[in-house]
Amino acid sequence: VSADDARPSRPAAGWRAAAGLVAAATAVGVGHGAAGLLDPAASPLVAVGAALIDAAPTPLKTFAIRTFGTADKPVLIAGVATVLAVLAAGLGLVAWRRRGYALVGIGLLGAVGAVAAGTRGTLLDTVPALVAVGTGVATLGWLTRVGRRRPAGRGGESETSRRRLLAGLAGAGTVAAVGGLGGVLAGRGRTRAAAAGRAVRLPVPVSPAASVPVGAQLPGMTPFLTPADSFYRVDIALVTPRVDVSDWTLRIDGMVDRPLTLTYDELLALPMVERAITLACVSNEVGGPYVSTATWLGVPFAEIIEHVGVQPGVDQVFSSSLDSGFTCSTPYAAVDDGRDAMVVVGMNGQVLPDARGYPARMLVPGLFGFVSATKWLKRIEFTSYAARTAYWTTRGWATDAPVLTQARIDRPKSLGTLPRDRPMLAGVAWAQHRGIARVEIRIDGGPWREARLAADAGKDLWRQWSFAYDGQPGRHRAQVRATDATGAVQPERRTKVFPSGAQGWQEIQFEVA
Ligand SMILES: Nc1nc2c(c(=O)[nH]1)N[C@H]1C(S)=C(S)[C@@H](COP(=O)(O)O)O[C@H]1N2
Ligand SMILES: [Mo]
């Protein structure tokens, strides 16, 4: 019997890695459960994901939005979970011989979660990560004890300990599942409670939206008004905030004579207008999907400006969101020049959905969303560009970003087929707050020919177009370009979305069959 045999031996590598994984899962599950009770955004994986979003270099973020679209968040969480799994398996491997290292490792991972949650929220938000550390340390510590093999000799011992380890893994796994499920259920409970508090009747607008003119919607085309669940979504909130309006207020201050704090009811009591407006994202590539149209109900900025008395020297509206570090710079001129800039409370006749910024968001026709459309609005500060710098500006994006003119081909799809019995190309074009004056199509590099414009619903709205094409069967190439109502023709040269939006003509290949 050698000295080594006398040492309590450890289970095989696979078992040890599994113990590390199970300990991490238990920690994350219980941490998630704790966050469900405190603040869903403080769940360790979510908090680390959110911190990564803020820290990610701009090109990476642009890539993620472009590649994963609205699926970018699950992808990010899965990535964080994968990294954690690999580290946890490693800690499990060393846990039997170097228990101290493994426990310190868990502590470090937990510290990352706590710092991520705490710096984005309050000190209380570090609790789920700390609970997770405690759970992880206890679980792994316990698993290493139950799974310790006694020196061989007394027959059957090692079998017993393996069985004990297996039982331990199963037990811890159950705790992980219960904790995680608890977090999910707590989240659902919140959603239901929030929905119950939302049984408000939206105010009747003093100025209703003009109905969309007959003929603005071409038959069989992209819906002119986008339903809320298919409206594009872009934001940095990993967890959709579910706001309880009983303790929500909107603060309006800065360089104003009469700063104002409005409750939800007070906001709803202000005069409202309703307008159909097309919103677009600066991250939309030429031909891309990040543009949609809805009918919005809100308080005009003119009303707010009059209430608070904006002082001379103000050139920026700096708005902040309650969910995260998102802040937004809007040129003061754009909310004070008579356009339909507003603080929105309703969308398509319904109370603003959670994903759209309930209870209130901003909207300024003609500007990209990142400089105009703050969701989960918490504060509006009338200030100067010199005094305040917004979230995306510090990350290199444009400070001032009017929507750029774009035309898009929706029919046929790229590499799609145009049926010979209905040889119609169609799409949308937008140049909010300038309006669309012309759309032209060029087939196979030939001359530009004018498309038929659908009825005009207003300059803050996109416009549909169609083009009858009686081409020969086979492969063709179509290009599209729009001219806005100022007479500016969409430039040919493609640019990147960073820092102020993509430009260039969309071009597709298609088949006539
Ligand atoms: N709080 C908050 N508001 C936000 C954002 C965000 O990340 N956080 N993103 C902005 C961007 S970039 C755009 S394009 C619009 C998109 O609004 P939507 O998701 O309702 O389409 O919201 C804006 N408002
Ligand atoms: Mo955006």
Render pLDDT for 458-483 as a digit per residue (tens, 0 to 9): 999 999 999 999 889 999 999 999 99
Region 474-497 average pLDDT: 97
Instruction: Give the lowest-confidence range in 2-6, 411-415, 417-421.
Output: 2-6
Distance 375 CA to ligand 2 centre (A): 11
Kindly report the pTM of this predicted structure: 0.82
From 70, 234, 394, the mutation candidate for ligand 1 (largest count of ligand atoms within 8 A of CB) is 234
- The rounded distance, in Å, linking the Cα atoms of 431 and 436 is 6
Cβ–ligand 1 contact at 391 (below 6 Å)? no
Q: Which two tokens stand for residue 45?
A: 């994986």
Confidence of residue 146 (pLDDT cuts 50, 70, 90): confident
Instruction: Give the lowest-confidence range in 191-205, 356-370, 465-479.
Output: 191-205
Cβ–ligand 1 contact at 397 (below 6 Å)? no
What's the Cα-to-Cα distance from 317 to each of 40, 363, 428, rounded to whole Å? 30, 12, 31
pLDDT at res. 3: 45
pLDDT at res. 69: 65
Instruction: Give the lowest-confidence range in 64-78, 197-211, 263-277, 296-310.
Output: 64-78
**Residue 91: closest CA among 31, 24, 138:** 24
- The rounded distance, in Å, linking the Cα atoms of 147 and 500 is 58
Instruction: Give the lowest-confidence range in 325-329, 362-366, 506-510.
Output: 325-329
Render pLDDT for 46-85 as a digit per residue (tens, 0 to 9): 999 888 888 888 778 777 776 776 677 888 888 999 999 9
Cβ–ligand 1 contact at 375 (below 6 Å)? yes
Share of the chain above pLDDT 90, in %: 72
- The rounded distance, in Å, linking the Cα atoms of 262 and 249 is 5
The answer to whether 320 and 326 have CB atoms below 8 angstroms apart is yes
**Residue 16: closest CA among 94, 83, 85:** 94
The answer to whether 371 and 329 have CB atoms below 8 angstroms apart is yes
What's the Cα-to-Cα distance from 281 to each of 241, 325, 424, rounded to whole Å? 21, 19, 28
Cβ–ligand 1 contact at 233 (below 6 Å)? yes
Residue 140: half-sphere exposure toward Cβ, Cα within 13 Å: 34
Residues with CB under 5 A from ligand 2 (ion): 234, 281, 369-370
- The rounded distance, in Å, linking the Cα atoms of 403 and 371 is 10
- The rounded distance, in Å, linking the Cα atoms of 424 and 410 is 11
**Residue 375: closest CA among 323, 446, 436:** 323
Distance 280 CA to ligand 2 centre (A): 7
Q: Which ligand is closest in space to the CA of residue 322?
A: 1
Q: Report whether pLDDT(399) > 70.
A: yes
For β-strands 474-484 and 436-443, DSSP reports them as antiparallel
Cβ–ligand 1 contact at 236 (below 6 Å)? yes
Give the SS3 label for residue 393: coil
Considering only CA atoms, which residue is closest to atom 10 of ligand 1? Answer: 370
Rounded mean pLDDT of the chain?
91
